[in-house]
Structures are given as structure tokens and as C-alpha cells.
């Protein structure tokens, strides 16, 4: 049985009295120990989809099942890493990681212990008492990752986590995330990531799910069966073949909506 099941999710936003059709009948699932990636053009609703899974937004119709239970509000079993980090500027790195644990009711000494442990995992042990203002973008996202992991989630959601970082930093953090995911002794079991960088998706994920331009719906999926670690495979034809496959589906998605608009 899958860890997460998304069934026929539809979502519209109302803005200034005009309706915006964001997600159209989206269904997919994420299995245990799986790393899945949602790819699509900007504005296709993939971030909204992730927020619905997190319990931050409500779908108009359809179901989100986690361990076969519907998700109606955020749960510590599903955690999230944000595009712009979402750190509280008035709290140090340690306090930022500590706060969700406090909400969960963990004892103070244990909390500090756990927070330190996770900061160490993201190689920030020397910056525990630094405020976000004084951290670089990459370091901020490391704090964001530590905070998301500290609550021991089964499923980690990542909303374009590397897109506001420079390429070198992004590369390092991708390895960090992959390392943590592949270490079965630590959470999370599964990762669902949103990206608009096809190479990144193919490099990291087991499966790339392609979403069409708005209203977003799933127009294809590509299984990535390159053995891990993939660091050596980056220049292999098999990698480029899979990237091309995803790009092709994306291009097809573009013309599909184009045709539709012509028909109107």
C-alpha cells in the first residue's frame, strides 16, 4: 500500500471575482522509500498541490490519503522545506529547529539535544546561535532542512528547495538531501519534491511526474532507473535520454493547452 495517495484533486482560486482553475483532477501516489518529483512549468499549480498534501490548503474536491487516513490539517508525519526557507528571523538557527519540537511537547533538554543533532547532520554545528540574517542562502536552507527533519517525518515535502540558491550551493545541498534520504536509519522514508529544473528532477528522483500548464493535470510520468549514487552517471547518455523524455512531455503539454485555446 502506498504511503500517500492523491485522488482526483481539483482546485480553483477566486481572485478579484474571477475564477482561476489551478488543478484539474490530479491523481498519483507516493510509495514507501520513494523519491518522487513533480515537474511542470511555472504557475502550473505544482506548489499548490504540495500545499494541499501538506494540509496547508484545502482541495475543492478529491481525497488525500496518508496511511489510508484523509489529511485535513498539517501533521508532524509530513514535513516541508520551503523555497524561501521560511525561517523566523527573530530566532537563532537552533531556536528555529527547536520550535516545532516545543509545539510537539518534547521536553526541553531532549529538544535542545535533537535540534543540535540535526544541525550537525546538515553541517551547521558551528552556527547554532546565529540568526538567519547573518547566514548565507545555502546555510538558511540547511536550517530549513534540519527543522523539517527534526520532527521525524515519514514524508518530506520540498517546494523548489534549491531554486533560490546558486548552482554550486544547490549541488552540495542536493547531495546532502540524497544522503539523508538514503540513510534508512533516519527519517524521512519518502520525499516528494517540486521542481522546474528537469536535470535536477532526473538526477534526484525515482520517478518524475510531469504536470501540464494551468489548469495543472498529470500528463505523464518517467521512471528513473539509473542506479544510485548517480554522481558518475551525470554525463552518461542514459541520463540525457531520460531528461529529453521529460522535456518532450513538457513540450507536448504546452501545445496541448495551445490547441485548446485555439478551439475556444
Partner 1 sequence: MAWLIVTFVGYREVKYLPFYTFSTVFRITVTLLISIIWGVSFGILAATNRLASLILTPFIDLLQSIPILGYFPMVIGFLFALGPLGVELSVIALLFTSMAWAIFFGVLGAIRGIPANVVESARSFGLKGWRYTRHVVLPAITPAVVSGANLAWCDGWFFMIAAEYIQYQGRIVTPPSGGLGYLLATAAYYYKDMNLAIILLIFITFIVVYFNILAWHRLMERASTGTFKPVFRMDLSGVGKLGVAKATRWLHFGRLHWPRAFSIVHQRLRKYTRIEKIVAAVLAFSVVFFILYLESEHFPNLATILEGFNEPPGEELVSLPMLIALTMGRLTIAYVISLAVAIGLGVLAAEHKKLASVIYPLYDIGQGVPILALFPVLFLGLNQLIGTPRIALELTCIIMLVLDMIWYMFLNIASAAKNIPTEINEVGKLFGFKGLKRVTHLVVPSILPSIVTGSILSWGTGWNTIIFAEYMPSTEPTVPPLSVPGIGSLLDKAGYQYGNTVLLIFILGIIASIVLSMEGFLWRRLFRKFEKYHIEV
18 touches partner 1 by CB under 8 A: no
13 touches partner 1 by CB under 8 A: no
Distance CA 12, CA 109 (A): 45
Helix (H, G, I), strand (E, B) or coil at 9: strand
Q: How far is the CB of 83 from partner 1 (least distance, A)?
A: 8
Q: Which of 9, 35, 59, 79 binds partner 1 (CB under 8 A)?
A: 79
**Strand bridging mode 4-15 / 18-30:** antiparallel
**With CB under 8 A as the contact rule, which of the stretches 31-39, 81-89, 111-119, 218-226 interacts with partner 1?**
81-89
Q: How far is the CB of 240 from partner 1 (least distance, A)?
A: 35
Q: Which of 63, 69, 88, 125 binds partner 1 (CB under 8 A)?
A: 88
**With CB under 8 A as the contact rule, which of the stretches 96-104, 181-189, 202-210, 235-243 interacts with partner 1?**
96-104
* Residue 132 DSSP label: G
**Strand bridging mode 207-211 / 155-159:** unpaired
Q: Which of 9, 11, 45, 51 binds partner 1 (CB under 8 A)?
A: 51
103/238 with CB nearer partner 1: 103
Q: Which of 151, 201, 208, 224 binds partner 1 (CB under 8 A)?
A: 151
Distance CA 38, CA 201 (A): 8
Q: Which of 61, 67, 103, 229 binds partner 1 (CB under 8 A)?
A: 103
CB atoms within 10 A of CB 240: 13
74 touches partner 1 by CB under 8 A: yes
Distance CA 233, CA 156 (A): 25
100 touches partner 1 by CB under 8 A: yes
84 touches partner 1 by CB under 8 A: yes
8/42 with CB nearer partner 1: 42
89 touches partner 1 by CB under 8 A: yes
Using N-to-C axis directions, what is the helix angle for 137-150 and 93-104, rounded to 10°? 20
76 touches partner 1 by CB under 8 A: yes
82 touches partner 1 by CB under 8 A: yes
Sign (positive or negative) of CA dihedral 144, 145, 151, 156? positive
Sheet hosting strand 190-195, strand order edge to edge:
78-81, 155-159, 190-195, 35-39, 207-211, 218-223
Q: Where are the alpha helices (DSSP H) in the chain?
A: 46-54, 93-104, 108-121, 137-150, 167-182, 198-204, 237-263
86 touches partner 1 by CB under 8 A: yes
25/83 with CB nearer partner 1: 83
Q: Are 210 and 221 in contact (CB under 8 A)?
A: yes
64/249 with CB nearer partner 1: 64
Distance CA 20, CA 111 (A): 43
Footprint of partner 1 on this chain (CB under 8 A)? Answer: 51, 54-56, 74, 76, 79-80, 82-91, 99-100, 103-104, 131, 133, 151
Amino acid at each position: 500500500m502506498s504511503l500517500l495517495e492523491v485522488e482526483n484533486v481539483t482546485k480553483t482560486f477566486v481572485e478579484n471575482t474571477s475564477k482561476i482553475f489551478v488543478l484539474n483532477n490530479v491523481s498519483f501516489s507516493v510509495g514507501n522509500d520513494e523519491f518522487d518529483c513533480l515537474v511542470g512549468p511555472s504557475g502550473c499549480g505544482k506548489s499548490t498541490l504540495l500545499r494541499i498534501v501538506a494540509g496547508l490548503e484545502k482541495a475543492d474536491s478529491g481525497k488525500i490519503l496518508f496511511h489510508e487516513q484523509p489529511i485535513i490539517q498539517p501533521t508532524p508525519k509530513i514535513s516541508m522545506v520551503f523555497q524561501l526557507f521560511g525561517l523566523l528571523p527573530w530566532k537563532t538557527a537552533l531556536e528555529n529547529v527547536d520550535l516545532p519540537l516545543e509545539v510537539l511537547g518534547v521536553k526541553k533538554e531532549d529538544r535542545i539535544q535533537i535540534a543540535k543533532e540535526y544541525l550537525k547532520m546538515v553541517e551547521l554545528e558551528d552556527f547554532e546561535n546565529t540568526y538567519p540574517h547573518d547566514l548565507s542562502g545555502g546555510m538558511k536552507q540547511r536550517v530549513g532542512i534540519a527543522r523539517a527533519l527534526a520532527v521525524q517525518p515519514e514524508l518530506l515535502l520540498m517546494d523548489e528547495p534549491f531554486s533560490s540558491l546558486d548552482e554550486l550551493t544547490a549541488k552540495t545541498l542536493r547531495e546532502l538531501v540524497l544522503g539523508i534520504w538514503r540513510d534508512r536509519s533516519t527519517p524521512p522514508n519518502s520525499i516528494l519534491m517540486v521542481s522546474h529544473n528537469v536535470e535536477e528532477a532526473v538526477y534526484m528522483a525515482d520517478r518524475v511526474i510531469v504536470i501540464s500548464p494551468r489548469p495543472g493535470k498529470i500528463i505523464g510520468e518517467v521512471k528513473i532507473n539509473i542506479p544510485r549514487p548517480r554522481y558518475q552517471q551525470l554525463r552518461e547518455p542514459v541520463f540525457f535520454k531520460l531528461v529529453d523524455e521529460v522535456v518532450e512531455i513538457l513540450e507536448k503539454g504546452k501545445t496541448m493547452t495551445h490547441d485548446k485555446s485555439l478551439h475556444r
